[in-house]
Chains A and B, each alone.
Chain A
């Protein structure tokens, strides 16, 4: 077997292994959270004060995913050292016909100035009507629902 062919086969194997690791890692992370939710919900239905997630069960789910993470990390290092990457990724896309740039927008400077002026007016209006304050208030308070905590 030619050395290039050997390299190509090795690269293919490494890419497939990395794919499997990444997909399994994602699957374990997702499945872990579903399992915690299902188990926690059952407990919560018996005692409403029970928590569904705890630092311990979340840690357990992460620990279950750790082997896949480490495997993916090791493979990543190997691939980086060997310079393995998908050869098709950088293959240029086929384009039908010539690609000519659109002519510059007429009066683009004018449009830009008008929009910038409108933006400045809106900002001033926002400071005067208190919407800037609204934004600050919201930004310095954590809304648990907004970030997915619940």
Chain B
């Protein structure tokens, strides 16, 4: 029997996957039940994302149907000046007290990926004093990237900056970035890649490589979510428990464990329950309170087993099937796309024969929006000028960083340029008061109910988006990526000279 897996050997040496592996696969599929997202290249936009996933699973993954607790925590901290993020804190506390680091061992999709990578046969780096010392690093990552950076930038600079997501998170790069880039429907996303992506890609490759040699190295040395859940280890409801009366202190459990544990069930223990098979005394079991979920192997100590039976697996399978059908086909909270767009009514000196659409060369359908300064922005009235539309959000750091560039462009070409800075109608904070701090000269508005302008400009859930129209209202540029002053000026010149 493969000790590291705990799976039983069937005929011809084929191993049956261990229950834990099946649970991990099940959880990964349940975390990412929106299969349609992988096909369409879009993310799930339904209300199921009101709930956090227990494990580390990027909510920008095309398949994700739950929010990432770590990403949500960072965003809550970065907007702490406006509103306290009690909800995320409550969710994390609840997961911690009920499951603790059992999440890492049984439910985390990234944990599963790391374990599969570690299956690749190469000489392995075993745990040692060095790895034990390195295991404290994750608390540094937690303090600096998850707590300090978002709080500092949020409170001092008004910038929502999720430090861990931005600089390190391999789940974001793998599930979010690579998940989107792999889909041909998102080919335009390549335009926004640069130094930032290069850096995160290299981090992902390095972490994946290290995971091949060193068991769950991301969990052990980096993962701030594991660090948080580790704080609940001593009193979480579900977890590996040692029967002190049976334990003779031989240390077999700790010696065989691949994590940097000093004691079974400590803050480094992921409650995978592999140590149960190594305990000669049968003193270790996986429990929910006082109920035993997984007991010692038969033949050692006669403890009554309470393993998830076929009925439980049947229910779990039914839940998974329901989730797949619900999230992909039935969920009414997922918005539909492809609304009919009205034709442009105004055709004066700057008439255009271009078809209505949002691709380059097409003309945008007309729309009217009331702006915060009391003016009304009507697209048809901008004919004869270069028109720039920028979609941004208060929670999007790159959007906020580039707002002054648009302001500069507007001031430089005032009279020959029409500009609209458009916020989605889902607001975290009041954009009007937020914008007052910037002293912006151009009109700013929030998209109307149902986000009709987002549909007209071919907007997605990705921000920031910039659309530049020539004097005839034809699209010269429509892209989801950050821009620089140089790019904006070049786009203006291109549109003005067409």
List chain A positions with a Cβ less than 8 A from chain B.
14-16, 18-19, 22-23, 26, 29-30, 33-34, 36-37, 40-41, 47-49, 51-55, 58, 72, 76, 79-80, 84-86, 88-95, 97-105, 108, 111-112, 115-116, 118-127, 129-132, 134-150
Q: How far is the CB of A146 from chain B (nearest CB, A)?
A: 4
User: In the complex, are the beta carbons of B94 and A120 less than 8 A apart?
Assistant: yes
Smallest CB gap from A79: residue in B: B121
Smallest CB gap from B212: residue in A: A22
Q: How far is the CB of A65 from chain B (nearest CB, A)?
A: 10
Which residues of chain B are near A95, meaning CB under 8 Å? 251, 254-255
In Å, the complex CA distance between A23 and B250 comes to 38
Smallest CB gap from A126: residue in B: B87
User: In the complex, are the beta carbons of B121 and A135 less than 8 A apart?
Assistant: no
User: In the complex, are the beta carbons of B67 and A136 less than 8 A apart?
Assistant: yes
Chosen A-B contacts, 22 in total, with CB atoms closer than 8 Å, are A15-B121, A15-B122, A18-B122, A19-B123, A30-B202, A37-B195, A111-B235, A112-B236, A115-B93, A115-B235, A116-B98, A125-B90, A131-B83, A131-B85, A134-B79, A135-B88, A136-B49, A140-B49, A141-B426, A145-B398, A147-B180, A149-B181
**Which of A86, A122, A127: most chain B Cβ within 10 A?**
A122
Q: How far is the CB of A74 from chain B (nearest CB, A)?
A: 12
In Å, the complex CA distance between A36 and B209 comes to 21
Smallest CB gap from B67: residue in A: A139
User: In the complex, are the beta carbons of A150 and B87 less than 8 A apart?
Assistant: no
Which residues of chain B are near A29, meaning CB under 8 Å? 201, 205
Known pairs A101-B263, A101-B264; A130 contacts B426 (CB<8 A):
no
Q: Choose among B121, B177, B232 the residue that contacts A18 (Cβ–Cβ < 8 A).
A: B121
In Å, the complex CA distance between A41 and B197 comes to 13
Smallest CB gap from B490: residue in A: A48
In Å, the complex CA distance between A98 and B59 comes to 44
Q: How far is the CB of A15 from chain B (nearest CB, A)?
A: 5
Which residues of chain A are near B193, meaning CB under 8 Å? 51-53, 149-150
Instruction: Report B58-89 CB contacts with A as 1/0, cut-off 8 Å.
Output: 11100000011001100110010001111111
List chain B positions with a Cβ less than 8 A from chain A.
3-4, 43-47, 49-50, 52, 58-60, 67-68, 71-72, 75-76, 79, 83-91, 93-94, 96-98, 120-124, 126-127, 162, 165-166, 169, 172-173, 176-177, 180-181, 184, 187, 189-202, 205-206, 208-209, 212-213, 232, 234-237, 242, 244, 247-256, 262-266, 393, 395-398, 424, 426-428, 460-464, 480-482, 484, 486-487, 490-491, 494
User: In the complex, are the beta carbons of B122 and A131 less than 8 A apart?
Assistant: no
Which residues of chain B are near A94, meaning CB under 8 Å? 255
Smallest CB gap from A23: residue in B: B209
User: In the complex, are the beta carbons of A147 and B93 less than 8 A apart?
Assistant: no
**Given contacts A115-B97, A124-B90, A146-B71, could you give 9 more A-B pairs where the C-beta distance is less than 8 Å?**
A26-B208, A30-B202, A33-B197, A101-B265, A115-B235, A122-B89, A144-B481, A149-B177, A150-B192
Smallest CB gap from B4: residue in A: A90
In Å, the complex CA distance between A142 and B199 comes to 19
**Which of B46, B96, B198: most chain A Cβ within 10 A?**
B198
Which residues of chain B are near A145, meaning CB under 8 Å? 166, 196, 396-398
**Which of A48, A103, A105: most chain B Cβ within 10 A?**
A48
Which residues of chain B are near A135, meaning CB under 8 Å? 49-50, 52, 67, 72, 75-76, 85, 87-88
**Which of A53, A90, A120: most chain B Cβ within 10 A?**
A53
User: In the complex, are the beta carbons of B235 and A93 less than 8 A apart?
Assistant: no
Q: How far is the CB of B482 from chain A (nearest CB, A)?
A: 6
User: In the complex, are the beta carbons of A130 and B83 less than 8 A apart?
Assistant: yes
Which residues of chain B are near A40, meaning CB under 8 Å? 194
Q: Choose among A18, A41, A138 the residue that contacts B75 (Cβ–Cβ < 8 A).
A: A138
Known pairs A90-B4, A118-B93, A141-B424; A148 contacts B197 (CB<8 A):
yes
User: In the complex, are the beta carbons of A76 and B120 less than 8 A apart?
Assistant: yes
User: In the complex, are the beta carbons of B194 and A86 less than 8 A apart?
Assistant: no
User: In the complex, are the beta carbons of B251 and A98 less than 8 A apart?
Assistant: yes
In Å, the complex CA distance between A121 and B97 comes to 14
Smallest CB gap from A35: residue in B: B198
Q: Choose among B43, B173, B481 the residue that contacts A148 (Cβ–Cβ < 8 A).
A: B173
Known pairs A136-B50, A138-B71, A150-B192; A126 contacts B86 (CB<8 A):
yes
Which residues of chain B are near A138, meaning CB under 8 Å? 59, 67, 71-72, 75, 395, 428
